[in-house]
Amino acid sequence: MLLGLLLAVVALPVSSKTEKKSSQGILKDSSLDSYETGDTTDKSELEKKLESLLSNVEGVGRVQVILMTGPEKDAQGFANSGGQKITGVLIAAEGADNSVTVQNIQQAVMALFQVEAHKIKVMKMK
């Protein structure tokens, strides 16, 4: 199931580094030395920081993080020029078999990125 999810993420369109506007894709920010097109081994700085933080929390264990972004929208639902917003978070964690740990992870991500709970998925790492 995780392999299928990773293949789906890889298939998503990713803009070039110089392009700040993108419809939806893996976190892109020219100041973060983030993903290269088609190369999912490079992690953005935010993903690295979140992985480091979560792996140091009691009960979480090893983690892997993927952040998804889309254009920021104004009050009328139109895309703002150049703005990117985190639209989803996928986390695989060793400690995700504990519901309290999963809730703590979700609350941390919600606080850091202002992402709604239904846009955060925490899965048990094998």
Round the average pLDDT of the chain to a whole number and report it: 77
Tell me if residue 71 falls in helix, strand or coil: strand
Question: Distance between CA atoms of 34 and 86, rounded to whole angstroms?
Answer: 14
Question: Distance between CA atoms of 85 and 38, rounded to whole angstroms?
Answer: 21
Domain residue limits, the chain: 2-124
Pairing of strands 63-73, 120-124: unpaired
pLDDT of 66 strictly over 90: yes
Residues 76-96: tens digit of each pLDDT: 777 776 778 899 999 999 999
pTM: 0.65
- Residue 76 DSSP symbol: T
